[in-house]
Structure 1
């Protein structure tokens, strides 16, 4: 017995159901041309009821767009790129735009290969993201014939750049500890060659002064443990709060405090940075931390590349999005 596939609904079917011409259907579904709002609504309703899906190739030929965008990232683990991609996709899905994720693994040759592939696919634009704010792509993207938006990364002068506000994020973390009555907050953070590390340290010093040190180290739990040993080995009163540069450092610090039978948050409050949920929620006690809003960064980048891909103007420069504090039981 022959298995017959159901016939695909065509634009002719929509035109017949709505009682209009094929040209009118095309204008209504592409939101252009002049017609009564009731007519446009009737056509869209008929298309939805019939399950009509416009041919992507034909739509691209008419609009001179492919309705695809590339997300180019050097984040091989997905810690930053996956929530950002969710945000980019959320911004674009209602506009019929799909996203290609390309991981470069910080390899210049692979970066070049991905860019060539995206250009071959005639994507409408590229969103470039990195794992640190002061990282640029391995090749100059400003000469590409399509718009490029930089998110959680550094872009060339005049480009559209979207990053979290690290200074504001650090301030709300430290202010939270001050509001909890903490008088001696120390800052344990990552390498000082990171711009974000220096910006957060500046915010910390602006609120706390220089009575307690800023300890620079690695983005690892072991550094958090080591830093606590350093702070508690001094010949002075230990801190009653720790502001940590990421959640891994914070978890290491909490483990070290528990090894010393120091109660958290009764004796020492701890706040991290990143809101990496798999770390923050599994820390004991669960970690209060700063959320950089990676998904919202991606959403705003998606809207920006969509605007530029339509040929609309958009002012360049760096846009900083506010962070938020996720309060759990460590503070």
Structure 2
């Protein structure tokens, strides 16, 4: 038995067909073969069909890099953020990367760490890498941020924190709707003495969630309780102080909406310490649906989810639209929010 006949001899890998092979079989130049397969250039229908048939016979599949180069692209999208470690930013990045990866697009991720000079440097670096598009992910604040300008050579989508320029496309969480559905849920449960605990008032998210909750109750003839308790910060210490004051002002309180899950967790602590059952005596709703908090409270916390991964996937989809020649849109677009009901408002059965 020769070496080539040995059962242990490695099998030779079949060589992948190249564009040159297709051109040779079809009897045309490589340039003609490329134009035929990409649907570009003037040629007879018979020539184009011959090239396509040759490609099929050879099982020729152009690489992603070759396709991108044929369209003048690099197959990369930049993601520029200012809060890479932030718990709000990470799910957006995951959603965007999932969508881009499914489209065989590579991602270059940069973190400006809240430094405007660093952001401009990183923007220049991304453009030098000839990215095809850019997603700017804000955080931790949802307040409008300065635009990168309208002269960039690639499509840009802002996510989470909107651009101050209305001609830019910005995808953001609908925080007013988040507050609205939280209050609506409590009203439907028969709660009528509903208070609100706000976070840092300089954050638009806290103000918008409060406004949404107040508007919902006003539609039913109700009033959001807690005047003077909506100025604080995002710490659980403030949440405990605010809840205690709320109970002093309104001892018959039967529900609380907190501007964040951490504030809501603090409220649960105070109700437990004062002998009030949740949700029997008082129902509690938080915001952000932060898994580290909502599933570790007792009872588990009802919360409004901003669907940040969906926001990231949508941002990537708008980049695809722009690259395909479709209008990605402009202005501020509000993303969907979702109430996740748990034991802090509806008793588990």
Shared fold, TM over 0.5: yes
Number of aligned pairs? 322
Residue correspondence of structure 1 range 29-44 to structure 2 within 5 A: none
Q: Indicate the residue corresponding to 1:223 in structure 2.
A: 238
Q: Distance in 2 between matches of 1:29 and 1:175?
A: 56
- CA distance 1:187–1:55, change in 2 (3 Å): closer
Residue in structure 1 matching 2:336, options 308, 317, 322: 322
- Structure 1 pair 259/316, CA: closer, same or farther in 2 (3 Å)? same
Query: Pairwise mapping of residues 1-331 of structure 1 onto structure 2 (< 5 A)?
Result: 9-12=16-19, 15=22, 54=63, 56=65, 58-131=66-139, 132-137=141-146, 140-155=148-163, 156-208=165-217, 209-210=222-223, 212-214=225-227, 215-216=229-230, 217-234=232-249, 236-331=250-345
Give TM-score, length-normalised by structure 1.
Answer: 0.84
Deviation at 1:4, TM superposition (A): 11
| 1:254-297 residue CA offsets vs partner (Å, 9 max, x unmatched) | 12221222211111111001111111111221110001110111
Unpaired segments of 5 or more residues in structure 1? none
109-118 or 140-149, which moves further after superposition? 140-149
The TM-score normalised by the length of structure 2 is 0.80
Q: Return closer, same or farther for 1:108/1:328 CA change in 2, 3 Å cut-off.
A: same
**Secondary structure, counterpart of 1:232 in structure 2:** helix
- Give the 3-state SS of the residue equivalent to 1:267 in structure 2: coil
Indicate the structure (1 or 2) with the bigger Cα radius of gyration: 2
- The answer (yes or no) to whether the contact 1:142–1:148 under 8 Å persists in 2 is no
Change (3 A) 1:41 1:285: farther
Decide whether aligned partners of structure 1 residues 85 and 284 sit closer, same or farther in structure 2, where only a CA change above 3 A counts.
Answer: same
Relative contact order higher in (CA < 8 Å, ≥ 6 apart): 1
Distance 1:32 1:239, change over 3 A: farther
SS at match of 1:312: coil
Q: 1:104 to 1:237 in 2, by over 3 A?
A: same
Cα displacement string for residues 81-139 of structure 1 (whole angstroms, at most 9, x for unaligned residues) = 221122212322233212222121101222122112111111111111212222315x7
Whether the aligned pair in 2 keeps the contact of 1:274 and 1:291 (CA below 8 Å) is: yes
